Structure 1
Amino acid sequence: MEPDIDRKMQQLSELLNLWSEQQFSFDKLDVIHRIAEPGRPEKPILVSPKDLPRRRLGSEEGHAALMHSIAHIEFNAINLALDAVYRFQDMPERYYGDWLGVAGEESFHFQMIREHLAHLGYEYGDFPAHNGLWQTTYETDHDPLVRMALVPRTLEARGLDVTPPMINKLRSIGDKRGVEILKILLRDEIGHVEVGTRWFRYLCEQQNLNPFQQFQHIIEHYYHGDLNGPFNYEARQQAGFSDDEIAWLKTL
Structure 2
Amino acid sequence: MNMNALFGAARRCLLECDPQRKVALTRTCAGEFLEGRLADAAPSTDLGPIHAPGRPQRPYLIEPRKLPQRGLGSAEGRAALVHAIAHIEFNAINLAWDAVHRFRDMPPAFYRDWVAVAADEARHFALLSTRLAELGHAYGDFDAHNGLWDMALQTADSCLRRMALVPRVLEARGLDVTPGMIARLRAVGDFATVEILELILREEVAHVAAGSRWFAYCCGEAGLEPEATFAALLEECMRGSLRGPFNTEARLSAGFSEAELIHLDTLAA
- What is the correspondence of 1:45-84 to structure 2 with a 5 Å cutoff? 45-84=60-99
Aligned length: 250
Amino acid at match of 2:90: F
Residues 215-242 of structure 1, C-alpha deviation per residue, up to 9 Å, x if partnerless? 0111122337422211111110000101
> Is 2:139 the partner of 1:142?
no
Of the three residues 197, 208, 212, the one matched with 1:182 is 197
Residues 11-56 of structure 1, C-alpha deviation per residue, up to 9 Å, x if partnerless? 1122113213324479xx9765343321111110100001111112
The alignment's TM-score, normalised by the length of structure 2, stands at 0.89
Separation in structure 2 between the aligned mates of residue 111 and residue 163 of structure 1, nearest angstrom: 18
Identity of aligned pairs, percent? 51
Separation in structure 2 between the aligned mates of residue 244 and residue 88 of structure 1, nearest angstrom: 29
- What is the SS of the residue equivalent to 2:266? coil
Offset at residue 6 of structure 1 (A): 1.9
Give 2:110's aligned residue.
95
Separation in structure 2 between the aligned mates of residue 12 and residue 86 of structure 1, nearest angstrom: 13
- What is the SS of the residue equivalent to 1:39? coil
In structure 2, relative to structure 1, the CA distance for the partners of 1:196 and 1:217 (3 Å cut) is: same
> Is 2:21 the partner of 1:7?
yes
- What is the correspondence of 1:1-252 to structure 2 with a 5 Å cutoff? 1-24=15-38, 33-223=48-238, 225-252=240-267
Residues 108-160 of structure 1, C-alpha deviation per residue, up to 9 Å, x if partnerless? 10000100010011101000000001100111110000000000000000000
Offset at residue 4 of structure 1 (A): 1.1
Separation in structure 2 between the aligned mates of residue 132 and residue 185 of structure 1, nearest angstrom: 20
In structure 2, relative to structure 1, the CA distance for the partners of 1:25 and 1:223 (3 Å cut) is: farther
Separation in structure 2 between the aligned mates of residue 126 and residue 133 of structure 1, nearest angstrom: 19
Separation in structure 2 between the aligned mates of residue 88 and residue 222 of structure 1, nearest angstrom: 21
- What is the SS of the residue equivalent to 2:231? helix
Offset at residue 204 of structure 1 (A): 0.7
The farther-off stretch of 159-168 and 4-13 is 4-13
Question: Any conservation in 2 of the 1:34–1:138 contact (CA below 8 Å)?
Answer: no
The alignment's TM-score, normalised by the length of structure 1, stands at 0.94
Separation in structure 1 between the aligned mates of residue 60 and residue 48 of structure 2, nearest angstrom: 24
Question: Any conservation in 2 of the 1:35–1:138 contact (CA below 8 Å)?
Answer: no
- Segments of 5+ residues of structure 1 without an aligned counterpart are none
The farther-off stretch of 89-98 and 15-24 is 15-24
Runs of 4+ in 1 over 6 A off after TM superposition: none
In structure 2, relative to structure 1, the CA distance for the partners of 1:244 and 1:32 (3 Å cut) is: farther
Offset at residue 243 of structure 1 (A): 1.7
* Cα root mean square deviation, aligned: 1.7
